Structures are given as structure tokens and as C-alpha cells.
Amino acid sequence: MARYKRFGHGKGDEDQVLSAINTTPLVDVMLVLLIIFLITVPVVTQTVKMTLPKEQNIPTQTKPENVVLGVGPDSRIYWNMSPVKDQQELLARLVKEAKKDPQPEVHIRGDATAKYAPIGRIVLAVQQAGIVKIAFITEPPAPGGGE
């Protein structure tokens, strides 16, 4: 006759500790999180399709009638080489230039360390004066794409 051992009713079996970790719940949670991420990532990255402008390096054509405005590292606004006192003076000078025929272009040169606020004030004044051609003067990239 064969002897069968009954589990759980043997002598001393109650004191044994199960030392293996049950990883099934962990795997289930990870699979659910993976599915959630796979579903939500395409939703988050959707954007409106548009064609962005390409970089152009057009040499500046310096004409005597062009207005060159600059913003120094101290955030002061300059008309050619002379500093502008305040926003009212800038607007008054731009209104005078806007009345000329043909209307001059406004070229804005901003120091790399200058704040954006003075440049924004220049753009606002140009818009209020009614000048339609505005350009930002930048340094061309170094050959080979390095800085």
C-alpha cells in the first residue's frame, strides 16, 4: 500500500515560513501601467500640423533710410548710436519715420544678454507707429554648425 503525505496536517509543517515572493501582482500592476502609458502618450504628443519656417541667412542690406534700434546689455534702447530717453520719445520718432514715403524698415539688434522686455517695447512702438517692415538682426551661425 502506498503512503500519501497530507499537506498541512503533517507534524511541524505549520511552522515553515514561505520564503518565495509572489511576483504575480507586481507583474499585473506593471502591465496595467504599461498599457496606460501606451494609450496616453500618443494623446499627449498630438499637436496641430503646421509647416514651420526654415532658417534663412540673408545678408542685411544697409540703407541710409533704415532705422536701426538696439538694446544693450543694460536694457537701454538705442536709436542708431544715441540712447533713447523713454518710450514716448521712441514712439514719437517712429511716427515721424512712418510718415516717410517709402516707409523705412526697422532693424532691431539685441544683445544676447539683454532682457526681452525692451525688445517687446520696441516691437509695440513700431506697431503703434504703423511701420510694417521689421527685422531682427542676428549673428550667422559658425561654419559647421558649431557655436
- Structure confidence at residue 20 (pLDDT): 78
Taken in order of first residue, the domains within the chain and their CATH numbers are 67-137 (3.30.420.270)
- Structure confidence at residue 115 (pLDDT): 87
Task: Show the low-confidence residues of the chain (pLDDT under 50).
Answer: 147
SS3 sequence of 114-138: CCHHHHHHHHHHHHHHCCCCEEEEC
Identity at 70, one-letter amino acid code: G
What are the φ/ψ torsions at residue 42 (nearest 5 degrees)? -65, -30
